[in-house]
Homo-oligomer: A and B are copies of this chain.
């Protein structure tokens, strides 16, 4: 297989900014061919891609071959002065992520910093984390490009809809 670039040395290389969020929810930057062997280790059931552009054919093929469902919610990052992440799209993404039928799930954008950081920040709100520690985590991954607007987005995001929805489905509390 073409993506066995490192596994022959018995070494696995996660995508940059890879981390386990909670339960079996993972986050990362855009996975590349070099990361495919590593991704198999996670036994993913699905991937949620947060960029609006079309998924590259090698990634589509990899997911198909391994029976991994591919979700896409195209977000535009929070950039001055007028581009803002749409809360209804965030709700859509959160409904995909909190659904245990989709776990293990990997959430990614391009760098794993901003769009992913906002979405994970909203997940932490569902877990009732204090804002100071949500931002501590956000900044760790976004460095050296932390955006105050992203942190503002997380703070201002009204999670009452997704809170109610996920509770009704018995998806909350999230597994730790």
Do A14 and B176 touch across chains, with their CB atoms under 8 A apart?
no
Looking at the assembled complex, report how far the CB atom of A160 sits from the nearest CB atom of chain B, in whole angstroms. Answer: 14
The prevalent SS among residues of A at the interface is loop
Do A20 and B22 touch across chains, with their CB atoms under 8 A apart?
yes
Provide the residues of chain B in CB contact with A24, threshold 8 Å: 176
Do A133 and B176 touch across chains, with their CB atoms under 8 A apart?
no
What's the tally of chain A residues with a CB closer than 8 Å to chain B?
Answer: 30
Within 8 A of B (CB), among A9-34: 10-14, 16-22, 24
| Interface membership of A82, Cβ < 8 A | no
Alpha-carbon distance A11/B21, docked complex (angstroms): 18
Q: Which of A6, A12, A14 has the largest number of chain B CB atoms within 10 A?
A: A14
Do A42 and B11 touch across chains, with their CB atoms under 8 A apart?
no
Cβ proximity bits A109-145 to B, threshold 8 Å, 1 near / 0 not: 0000000000000000001111011001100110100
Give residues in A with beta carbon < 8 Å to B. Answer: 6, 10-14, 16-22, 24, 41-43, 104, 127-130, 132-133, 136-137, 140-141, 143, 176
Counting from the closest, the 9 A-B pairs by CB-CB distance are A13-B130, A20-B20, A14-B133, A12-B128, A140-B140, A11-B130, A11-B128, A42-B176, A13-B133
